[in-house]
């Protein structure tokens, strides 16, 4: 599917049944541990790799490799106990490890929750590799990963799986299973809400779909809490399989710390009962850094990856630097204040400089919250300014959500103006967060669309399991949502596709002439063997910044 990159068929599925895996996942609660399934005989040593393996952030010459070792049965995630344990790693060109190209050893300790992260360097570009870990006679599952094409290398095509919003209690991770079964993907782009911070039973799910409970049972606040929750999620067999199959490129949204987070707090954080926000945020960052296959610069998560001459991918952090969200109604007029920011000044400068100077054909942006305007309705401030001031509403119109870029319209305009001034026409935003499926033009002026032109494109993927419109309203699927969808599209004409009820994932195909997103929706997220169907596809042509319907990807 991509130039010069050797395609390797998917690794075989682990032979453990889901029931056995779920029963064994009590490791997180401190009762037992289980060995990762491999093709090799089980090790006699008590050391185990119960949380699988993962890779991420592929560069032309390097990739992050990750695992967690359980050195003793009681050294469970978040326990803070367990001996220092030497862990060897190796990466090879073949799955039998006859052609090892790099290896080494590190010590896993309780200080990092016995997680292991290796930045394996000195690799060849556009190459498939296999990797594994060993400790005290135990051998991890074998992972497969890729390096990126060399800078400037001519590349005709690249294909990504795109996901967001996976709530453990909301259902099984069938989206991950279906993505792992594909043989045409280069990497997985995860746009945030990899896990959820709520106490067991607090977040809404469909009736009958709460198939498993969060651990710890209380809301996660401390470093140990976040480590336990990360550990629980990484016992899921579909999550483990997808991590082992492909490199991931991840960014956090809010639930990795707390709902509707901003630079000084969060909607779901009470200092009176949950302590200092800075300490809680630091705890979440610490656990995320330990447990995710991501290359970070301290606490800085935003970064950029390049794939030959075809595409650059800028991954944004839209939670750490933003101004507190405006309250609907009471704070609407403050949305027009140019001091409000969703990116922070430093990240905005980095983003605009990168997009406007990019030498690649396409500029992709991993964007955790919707950037296209969603207003009820869009207004032209040149003609309605007096009315909006009288009514006390924002000059652009009433936003559907102030947690999205609509709550920070000045920052959005800065970014869109920079893209327009630079003459860039191939900017595509990939978005998660809102648990629903959308395909949109990003208009130069929503009130004057389409006449005023378009600046960029946005594709929003649905949640893996997290509650969407029908579940939040407690109504049957496709009962209330069609009327809401019609309202959204009739008042926001730049919205070409919206579906508010289904769960699933996206597949993004990047070619020189087009970028296309296909949406895939699960039949039943509560069914561990759920089927999936292609819902629709949209594409944008080179230089057009306008989406159009597309046939299924080959």
Whether residue 295 sits in one domain with residue 196: yes
Whether residue 448 sits in one domain with residue 350: yes
Give the CATH number, domain containing residue 92: 2.60.40.380
Bigger pLDDT: 308 vs 34: 308
Whether residue 468 sits in one domain with residue 378: yes
Whether residue 121 sits in one domain with residue 195: no
Q: What is the DSSP letter of 199?
A: P
Whether residue 444 sits in one domain with residue 344: yes
Whether residue 466 sits in one domain with residue 377: yes
250: enclosing H helix or E strand: strand 248-250
Of 78, 113, 148, which closes a domain?
148
Is the pLDDT at 311 greater than 90? The verdict is yes
Give the CATH number, domain containing residue 315: 3.60.21.70
- The tokens for 214 are 């969060």
The reply to whether 554 falls in a domain is no
What mean pLDDT comes out for the span 280-303?
Answer: 97
Query: Coil, strand or helix: which one is 375?
Result: strand
Contact assessment for residue 465 and residue 172, using Cβ atoms and an 8 Å cutoff:
yes
Q: How far apart are CA 302 and CA 281, in angstroms?
A: 16
Whether residue 268 sits in one domain with residue 359: yes
The reply to whether 488 falls in a domain is yes
Whether residue 349 sits in one domain with residue 451: yes
Bigger pLDDT: 387 vs 472: 472
Of 88, 122, 148, which closes a domain?
148
Whether residue 46 sits in one domain with residue 7: yes
The reply to whether 153 falls in a domain is no
Q: How does pLDDT run across 5-47, given as a tens digit for each residue?
A: 333 344 543 333 333 333 333 333 333 333 333 333 343 456 7
The reply to whether 461 falls in a domain is yes
Bigger pLDDT: 515 vs 554: 515
Alpha helix ranges (H) inside 182-222: none
Whether residue 267 sits in one domain with residue 320: yes
Contact assessment for residue 233 and residue 43, using Cβ atoms and an 8 Å cutoff:
no
Summary count for the chain: helices (H), strands (E): 11, 24
Closest alpha carbon to 274 in 368, 198, 163: 198
Of 148, 178, 201, which closes a domain?
148
The reply to whether 318 falls in a domain is yes
What mean pLDDT comes out for the span 245-254?
Answer: 98
Closest alpha carbon to 313 in 415, 191, 436: 191
Whether residue 110 sits in one domain with residue 185: no
Whether residue 482 sits in one domain with residue 405: yes
Omega before residue 365 within 30° of 0, cis: no
Please give the residue range of the domain that contains residue 61.
Answer: 1-148
Query: Coil, strand or helix: which one is 412?
Result: helix
Q: For the chain, what is the domain count? A: 2
């Amino acid at each position: 599917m991509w130039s010069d990159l050797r395609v390797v068929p998917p690794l075989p599925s682990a032979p453990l049944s889901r029931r056995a895996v779920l029963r064994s996942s009590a490791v997180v609660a401190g009762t037992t541990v289980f060995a990762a399934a491999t093709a090799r005989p089980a090790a006699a040593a008590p050391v185990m790799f119960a949380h699988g393996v993962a890779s991420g952030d592929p560069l032309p010459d390097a990739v992050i490799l990750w695992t967690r070792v359980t050195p003793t049965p009681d050294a469970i995630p978040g326990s803070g106990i367990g001996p220092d344990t030497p862990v060897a790693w190796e990466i090879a060109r073949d799955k039998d490890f006859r052609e090892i190209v790099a290896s080494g050893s590190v010590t896993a300790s309780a200080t990092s929750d016995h997680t292991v992260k290796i930045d394996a360097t000195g690799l060849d570009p556009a190459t498939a590799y296999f990797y594994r870990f060993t400790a005290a006679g135990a051998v991890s599952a074998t992972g497969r990963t890729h390096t990126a094409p060399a800078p400037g290398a001519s590349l005709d095509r690249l294909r990504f799986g795109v996901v967001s919003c996976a709530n453990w209690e909301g259902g099984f991770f069938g989206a991950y299973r279906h993505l792992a079964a594909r043989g045409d993907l280069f990497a997985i782009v995860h746009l945030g809400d990899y896990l959820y911070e709520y106490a067991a039973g607090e977040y809404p799910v469909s009736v009958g779909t709460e198939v498993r409970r969060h651990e710890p049972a209380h809301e996660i606040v401390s470093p140990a809490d976040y480590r336990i929750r990360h550990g629980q999620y990484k016992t899921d067999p579909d999550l483990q399989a997808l991590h082992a199959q492909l490199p991931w490129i991840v960014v956090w949204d809010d639930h990795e710390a707390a709902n509707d987070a901003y630079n000084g707090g969060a909607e779901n954080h009470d200092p009176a009962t949950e302590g200092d926000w800075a300490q809680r945020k630091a705890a979440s960052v610490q656990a995320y850094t330990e447990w995710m296959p991501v290359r970070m610069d301290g606490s800085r998560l935003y970064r950029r990856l390049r794939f030959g001459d075809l595409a650059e991918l800028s991954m944004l952090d839209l939670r750490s630097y933003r101004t507190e969200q405006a309250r609907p109604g009471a704070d609407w007029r403050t949305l027009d204040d140019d001091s409000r920011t969703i990116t922070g000044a430093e990240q905005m400068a980095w983003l605009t400089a990168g997009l406007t100077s990019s030498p690649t054909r396409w500029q992709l942006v991993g964007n955790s919250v919707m950037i296209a305007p969603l207003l009820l309705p869009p207004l032209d401030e040149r003609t309605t300014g007096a009315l909006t001031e009288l009514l006390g509403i924002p000059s652009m119109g009433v936003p559907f959500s102030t947690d999205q870029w609509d709550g920070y319209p000045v920052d959005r305009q800065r970014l869109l103006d920079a893209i327009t001034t630079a003459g860039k026409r191939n900017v595509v935003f990939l978005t998660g967060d809102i648990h629903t499926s959308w395909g949109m033009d990003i208009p130069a002026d929503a009130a004057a669309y389409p006449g005023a032109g378009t600046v960029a494109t946005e594709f929003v993927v649905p949640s893996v399991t997290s509650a969407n419109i029908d579940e939040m309203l407690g109504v049957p699927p496709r009962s209330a949502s069609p009327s809401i969808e019609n309202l959204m599209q009739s008042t926001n004409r730049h919205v070409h596709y919206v579906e508010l009820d289904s769960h699933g994932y996206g597949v993004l195909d990047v070619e020189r002439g087009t970028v296309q997103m296909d949406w895939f929706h699960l039949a039943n997220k509560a069914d561990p063997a759920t089927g999936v169907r292609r819902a629709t596809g949209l594409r944008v042509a080179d230089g057009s910044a306008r989406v159009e319907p597309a046939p299924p990807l080959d």
